[in-house]
Amino acid sequence: MSGSSNIVAMKKIVQQLRFEANINRVKVSQAAAELQQFCIQNALQDPLLTGVSSSTNPFRTQKVCSFL
């Protein structure tokens, strides 16, 4: 009994490996260039990267104390 369920499990593994082995891939040089391109294109819209000033970053705004 356990023999046949092992075979079923192995068949699934082999099927999955066949699927993964056959996918289309691109060269790392091309993929890396595109990751870099995305970073550069979006750099100015990244507040943590550019360092947004106190006046525009709600978390950096100084709290105002008021006497009640």
Partner 1 sequence: MEMAAQPSDTLATLKTESETLKTKLEEERAKLHDVELHQVAEKTEALGQFIMKTRRTLKGHGNKVLCLDWCKDKRRIVSSSQDGKVIVWDAFTTNKEHAVTMPCTWVMACAYAPSGCAVACGGLDNKCSVYPLSLDKNENLAAKKKSVAMHTNYLSACCFTNSDMQILTSSGDGTCALWDVESGQMLQSFHGHAADVLCLDLAPSETGNTFVSGGCDKKSCVWDMRTGQCVQSFETHESDINSVRYYPSGDAFASGSDDATCRLYDLRADREVAIYSKESIIFGASSVDFSLSGRLLFGGYNDYTINVWDVLKGTRVSILFGHENRVSTLRISPDGTAFCSGSWDHTLRVWA
The binding site for partner 1 (CB under 8 A) comprises: 3-4, 6-7, 10-11, 13-14, 16-21, 23, 25-36, 38-43, 45-49, 51-52, 57-60
In whole angstroms, the minimum distance from the beta carbon of 38 to partner 1 comes to 5
Taking the C-alpha atoms of residue 17 and residue 49, their distance in angstroms, rounded to an integer, is 40
Taking the C-alpha atoms of residue 13 and residue 17, their distance in angstroms, rounded to an integer, is 6
Closer residue to partner 1 (CB): 18 or 67 = 18
Closer residue to partner 1 (CB): 45 or 66 = 45
Task: Calculate Rg over the CA atoms of the chain.
Answer: 27
